[in-house]
Amino acid sequence: MNVLVTGATRGIGKVIAEVLGKEHAIFATGRNEELLLSYKNHIVCDMSKREELYKLGEYIELNQIDILINNAGEYVYSSIEETNFDSMANILRVNLEAPLYLISKSTPYMKQNKFGRIINIGSISGVMGEAGASIYSASKAGLIGGTKALALELAEFGITVNTINPGWVDTDMGNASANDGCWTKEEIIECIPQRRFVSPEEIAGMVKYLISDDAKGVTGQSINLCAGLSVGY
């Protein structure tokens, strides 16, 4: 199977690519060309730039992608009154518009093949909301809505569409996000029922299951992988 992973140069995306690469052909994309060189099949793409996104769409059509992992994302911690329009537009393009566009370029081949797996990496902030990150939360909530609608639209073609919503993840981005807020990492952990950050390997394991034949009946789902954070504290 041909698997495209966006944001594959670090964090969650890199681990997903490593895990799935043991059984599938990985097509990787990200902004850092040097880091992408470790992948045989790769294309540089800054999701916030429309012309680069169009090139990635052409790349998807050319390489007949069976499995699309929409992992790339932007996070900004800012009060609503301090969030300028350009920042809003950038977050919405990278987190919501780009994944939907890439899905639109992937589905013709999937429909023809009567098989496809689309996994969107969302966020628990799109389920619960996050004060100080309203645009980020809105973008991830939109991704969940799109997942449900697309699951219905594509079900008859053997294509499943699901979203995984991580909580706090033990990656560079996750730790940096913790430091950007009003609380320390230790204080955040105290609010997580399991008292820990989720590992990227756990998310990769969930992706591996969702693309398997065992999960062919799982579609339109928003799966919270958050160490209990979505339940309460």
Which residues are the active-site residues?
136
| Nearest residue to 117 via CA among 14, 219, 221, 8 | 219
What CATH number does domain 2-168+200-225 carry, 3.40.630.30, 3.30.1310.10, 3.40.50.720, 3.60.20.10? 3.40.50.720
pLDDT number for residue 188: 87
pTM of the model: 0.94
The residues, ordered by sequence, that sit 6+ positions from 176 with a Cβ below 8 Å of its Cβ are none
Residues paired with 117 in a beta bridge = 67, 160
Domains of the chain: which residue ranges? 2-168+200-225
Residues in the chain: 233
Q: Tell me the CA distances in angstroms from 168 to 124, 142, 189, 199, 203, one per residue in order.
A: 8, 20, 9, 9, 12
In the chain (233 residues long), the average pLDDT of successive 10-residue segments reads 97 97 98 96 97 98 98 91 92 97 98 98 94 94 98 98 96 68 81 94 98 98 95 75
Q: Are 126 and 84 in contact (CB under 8 A)?
A: no
Question: Which pLDDT does position 182 carry in this prediction?
Answer: 66
- Quick one: pLDDT at residue 233? 61
